Structure 1
């Protein structure tokens, strides 16, 4: 693979239009294999989801990409650069473990996080005030972090992640602990970042967020990536399902239904035939089945996850989500 020189970063160029390229990442902790040969390729300007249950290796993978920890094997390039630490000022990172100084005022906390990425403190304070107002938190501007609700504090930390206008934003379980309203606001914010050309990569164990936001995903389970690619391609691994409701429940037209058809009352369900529904429709009409409704439903990302990662990983994903809701 041909790489551009590190000097190309100054011109805003990365190799092959990829914000992130990683090959064969491996990480062990005390002899235990946590990440086992992970490959990731994230296009510039994309919203890219890393989907898997807790303990699958998502956080370790993100930390290796950012240079927080070094891989035992493999290589990665971030925005065309082989040393992520050298371009930290153009990266925004929201870790899974949230942490803000409790005595800091909200706007000061945002400015402080920007200063850590090279943003002058005065400019950080100015941007922090604007960002808090834009997100409906002007009333919290002068409050200390300890005086904020959990959701508000998480929003402050997220704004601190973005205050220096990074080119790449890495969010580790960003939706964790947020109520439905704030989750919706975060989805809007992530889309707005991508609209401006920012690359966003986030990990999650909640399939619905990845399905709504991402064009491309990586599924990670047991430290491996059994699938990385387009969301629609993953869903197409499972045939679309046809749901047919008829007025009549018997007749010669039944012979046209696939052999694996399931019947409940006058409702029939079966995978979409390879030759489509047109031949079946002809048989139903000619046989006077009395079509009341017919719909074709594509498989969801959850079904694709089960097919790709297996029932065990899917059950853990469901369990992780249930535990978070209880909390």
Structure 2
């Protein structure tokens, strides 16, 4: 399914190119390392704002109430079965939440102030093998809670979208990357997507399940050295290499800026050339010392690509609640 995103107006953060050559090494993440990025909330808000305007005739406006910034955290290693083998994996978790208030046309609902609360939480857990293995596991859970103020029964609706992927790749992430390097690899993805819903905290009801096998080719190009402004106030310049990623035959592309130690500093995602997500490092704690060879990975931020699907649940929740 093609996932469409609304463009975000992002202020340019690029500074002048660095003078000295950079070689990007393999990152060595440790348990307790974390990286916090801005930009995720703006992408989620824009998607919901567009969906509400398009699919609810009584929609008036959407306000951001509060959010928890997107944080990537590395946890203790785990042994899991990957490709039939017991594999020691580095575990990372992405977490983000945003709370929004939907305003409807006055007197168009039977609820207090004609408002509805939306709470969206994202959790993405990734198991990346330590050492040579062609496999990776990824589980993404997006939960939407929606409720009106006041009113009677069927007022609290939850929707959950769980996507589990087993990814097999045929190449290794280069041990050292410099400007001008190009490489590609093929990957096969076994993806199972489960949609669930419940009302007023009853038992979860599975509404849809889909399993599909996807084969694709991904190309990478290390383009140039660039200084990126990071931090809460963009007051620190970090030397990076800008790398372009293209999924062959698809309209989605991404541009990623990496620190020479291998971690992500900035990421932008595009659909048909339209910017849909721009995220920049604001804070981090990274305690690397030894380089560990790992299987190739995007080494980047996962785009909130499945939110377009779960926003349909939001519109359904609105319709159901307003009809009560």
TM class, shorter-length = under 0.3
TM-score (norm. length: structure 1):
0.23
Structure with the larger strand share: 2
The structure with the larger Rg is: 1
TM-score (norm. length: structure 2):
0.23
